[in-house]
A and B are shown apart, each in its own frame.
Chain A
């Protein structure tokens, strides 16, 4: 169930990298809604340490593209307070490993305020943050903690696997009146693809996308592993017919699209770059077992990080950061 709104101008696309797609989403939403503003460390004049917000300061000025001190507890919390009072902040936390610093405001304020106040407030805050290993950044700059946020009641979490998903989901996240965590895998910024140009283009939060249809096995992937799984599917074509789904949204999770697929293939590999135990994989597997137990033809497989942190040295990092080969091996276990 790939979801592209059927409007005439949405047919037009341009080739963008993930970085450009995110930047375009920010720009368009800031142009459309003056309540939207961006804040974070070096997002303004510097253009973001990974260049994502480059040019926004020049276009919108320092009030709306706001450089913060190194105070994640303070400015994430300020994002919560601003969202509760009618602003629509997009807060960048440079590396998701730093989310720990802002833990309190996320767990007890952002996630709970609407509920505790009996639904009297909106919480239109978006947290953008980077995740993932692969660049020798070592344990404190390579983590993938998205499970924590998908797990925590009251928070939504999305993990785009393509430039189009990145743009569409970020625009929806900004427009949403709920807190949405937008997780960017930092190895994907240069990945390019076709992205709709229509400023009205969005993708609904809570829908997965079948990126490649197949008959024998379903690979349910997130982020970088979507692209790598598509490559594997291409390699195996003729031998094994692999269906590849980009989960896109961890919470809410599109159980139906996954269930439809496994009903067809009977086999599933869940590939997500996060620690395996108690994770995203477990949730997806559980939903399949609950909903499609009688469609299953083989044990479900998990591809993820083997419950370690991400080490610095490349032989070690390569060992624990999952990739297409791990997906291929997992497929070979079940077909």
Chain B
């Protein structure tokens, strides 16, 4: 049997969009990402058994440099093409699915989603490189590497430390569809533009696969109204209107707490769909505008078969003591 293997993917573009201008989102630089990737390689040493690491190449050459500088036989570069777009993430995920036991990904909600779509049942350790995220956890790379190694070596049973994250899908009546990990939104705008949704007032509505008070964006708005855990398999539909009679306070973007007018909301159970009819709008997923639509109906529904995300706390709760613990005298 092949040695336990973890995959590592860094999105060089994460944390670099226009939200750095319009909101309080933190910036994530290449050097920081490279260091974090190196930390993962160190972190795998916490497991007792040796672990191989396969690193995805990327347009920013962060992965390539990490491998070159590691110069160790158990660290290799994944053999996939690089084009500098999100397709790189899809390709890497498909390759990882075949051959690794856990994947560490550095990015935001978007990167995690791109990976989730192709990763199948491989446990995903999503590490946030910025502040503008709902799904990934801000955790040190060394810690992430250690957690991945515990899972890959079987020291921790993946069933004890992962949960299935519900996704949320938007289907346009012209046949196009798109999935978000945490949110899809219907945005009162004409164009994809800089992708980021700059003004929360532009949301006409949307759906979320999780809702909690402390989250940023639509899932935080939903979280002001109800609570849905990411593994509930359900979702929430939101109908927003700045002029609505009722409003709730939420964190709409990093740095902004404001009142958001809510015209209506409902739970979405599996199979439920909420339809938005629009003349002109843009569909966003996980806070990024993606699809321009005209005179369309957009159905929003939860999709329960999302990725298996790793709960870092659960990993370390289940992690074994050090193999040589007995040798250390207890006083």
Query: Do A and B touch each other in the complex, judged by CB within 8 A?
Result: no
Which residues of A line the B interface, CB within 8 A? none
